[in-house]
Amino acid sequence: MYLVSHLRRRSRIHKHIGEETGCILPQELVDECLSHLPSPSNELKACALVCRAWCYTAQRLIFSMVSVAWTTNRYQRLEETLHASPHLIQHIRSLTLHRSSAASPEISAFEKICMFPFTHLENVYIFHSSDVTLQSARAMRRLLSLPTLRLLDIQCTFEESPAFLAIWDGCSPSIRHLHLRCHKRWIVNPLRPKQFSLPSVRIVPESLKIDLSSNIDEWLNHDQCPIDISRLAVLAIDTRTAVLSWPRMVPSLQTIEALDLSSRGNGVVDLSLLPNLLFLRIDSISWLSVQVALDTVATIPASSRIHEIILRIATPEAPDAVCEQLDSEIGGLSFPYLSYVGLEMSIPDYNDWASHFPRLCSKDLLVRTSTGNDWFETQIHRRNALH
């Protein structure tokens, strides 16, 4: 920030250089300096007013990630800004839309933003708290059909099946990362195969995360579902171990490299079915579910190429017993390519609990992993770096 302030003062001193440039540094250095400022921030907004050389870069950084909260005013403000300055649309790479459960003019404002002609949008996050109507579904479908879209994270509730199914009609085949948090409000009326239509386009994601979902299993596991789950590399499931037994998942068992699962389910996951598994994370291990976690890890064959095992331990009633049991069982396993076993927790907790893992510590395998990073997102970034 000091460097940016210094540049602003010098640019005012050297106004005689010319109004057209207004900057004494090469554009590449200006871009590098501004890229270190948080986006969006008041500092970047101030930099956009300094000179033309700073304006474009600052605007690009400010509008690269746009998030619209629950209020109608914020939707209207974004709509007015993009109408007045349509050149800003090209800067938007990530768009987050929140739709509250209260009935308000926000509905139409939400739909108007969905219908904007985004040209470079890659990541879409939709948090739709109210029941999805057919009109809202058609607006969301406009976003899902964009040819530039790579990642979709959608959380929604719906009462009528046609509204939910309409979201996916004509979705973009460019989507590679999918996070579903979809819930059908009435359990007595689940999605039925007779309601499905043959999709014109299919999504073939590399990564899939399913949580907080209800009554869409039959849709996901149906041949007419527009989501083709036969080529997954990253899978995250929440208490839904049955997903791995779906017929449509059989091809992906050979391609999955990273698996994130919860131990809160009652069933043990047979990891020997995943011959190419490299990264494993087990969530919410407690004194009630530690045996499920241990039995799952025990299914990893000795020939496995697994590199990383991450354990997220929920605060149990008997932490000593849980930790010592995990250390005894996991520390006794031998995997030739295992780099480390990570405990996903804060630094103070790790300092308190590391002593309960003497076997892993003696093998120099125990490390702490940050709780601030989304493991699923980390795996997506890893996949993107490979391509």
Phi, psi of 276 (to 5 degrees): -105, 20
Instruction: Supply φ then ψ for residue 16, to 5 degrees.
Output: -70, -15
User: 335: left (phi > 0), else alpha (psi -120 to 50), else beta?
Assistant: beta
Cβ-contact 126, 158 below 8 angstroms:
no
Q: Are 283 and 256 in contact (CB under 8 A)?
A: no
> What stretches of the chain adopt beta strand conformation (E)?
65-68, 94-99, 123-131, 151-158, 177-184, 207-210, 234-237, 258-262, 279-285, 308-313, 340-344, 366-369
- The torsion of the CA quartet 316, 321, 325, 327, rounded to 10 degrees, works out to 90
For the chain, the domains span 102-228, 240-387
CATH topology classification for 240-387: 3.80.10
pLDDT tens-digit profile, the chain (387 residues): 555 565 555 555 554 444 444 556 777 777 777 777 777 677 777 877 777 778 888 888 888 999 998 777 888 889 899 999 999 999 999 999 988 765 555 568 888 899 899 999 999 999 988 888 888 899 999 999 999 999 999 998 888 888 888 899 888 999 999 999 888 876 556 666 556 666 677 899 999 998 866 678 888 888 888 999 999 999 998 765 688 888 999 999 999 999 998 877 667 889 999 999 999 999 887 877 888 888 999 999 989 999 999 999 876 555 677 888 899 989 988 899 999 999 998 888 888 889 889 999 999 999 999 876 688 888 988 887 776
